[in-house]
Homo-oligomer: A and B are copies of this chain.
């Protein structure tokens, strides 16, 4: 069923950072420096999605060098920091990567994420997202932001596409190609 939004149509996952990849803490060390806390299993999830041909992009209204490092480490296809409008930024990312909104899964946790979430194929939100955002999410995750929410959505996506079990078996077998993930 081409054109029908669903797990099999997704080509790109776009995620907010603070509150989705993190627990929403803004951590300052003195006046100048910023600390960011990510989740190691979210990182593996990025790698698993990519292995299945799904790209991962990040859009955030904030800016931090720590996030730039994490994004580079994980091979994030587009990192957009300092986004004034997440909807407009999403439109630019979609155009650049030549994907339509029907091929995008978007994860967000707060009001500025509402506009993109209401327009993509699948919207997902951590369990501790703002109530209005949870209402707008087709996928209401069981995990909190920074505590596996992104991992959970990738696992759900790959399960619905029938790709998860094969990945697990590759890990269990200890095959080198699995380990390089």
Q: Could you list which residues of chain A lie within 8 angstroms of chain B, going by C-beta atoms?
A: 18-19, 24-31, 33-41, 43-44, 62, 64-66, 68-70, 84-88, 109-112, 114-116, 118, 130, 132, 136, 146, 167-168, 171-174, 176, 178-181
Contacts and interface: CB of A to CB of B under 8 A. Distances in A.
Contacts of A118: 172
B179 A84 contact: yes
A1 to B, nearest CB: 28
B28 A112 contact: no
Contacts of A62: 40
Nearest to A18: B40
Given A28-B38, A44-B111, 9 more contacts: A18-B40, A25-B37, A25-B38, A31-B65, A40-B110, A87-B179, A114-B174, A115-B174, A132-B168
B36 A33 contact: no
A64 B29 CA distance: 10
Identical chains bound together, number: 4
A73 to B, nearest CB: 9
A58 to B, nearest CB: 14
A9 B1 CA distance: 56
Contacts of A110: 40-41, 44
Contacts of A64: 30
Contact of A111 (B29, B66, B171): B171
Contacts of A24: 39-41
A43 to B, nearest CB: 7
A86 to B, nearest CB: 7
8 contacts: A26-B39, A26-B40, A28-B35, A29-B33, A85-B176, A112-B178, A115-B179, A132-B172
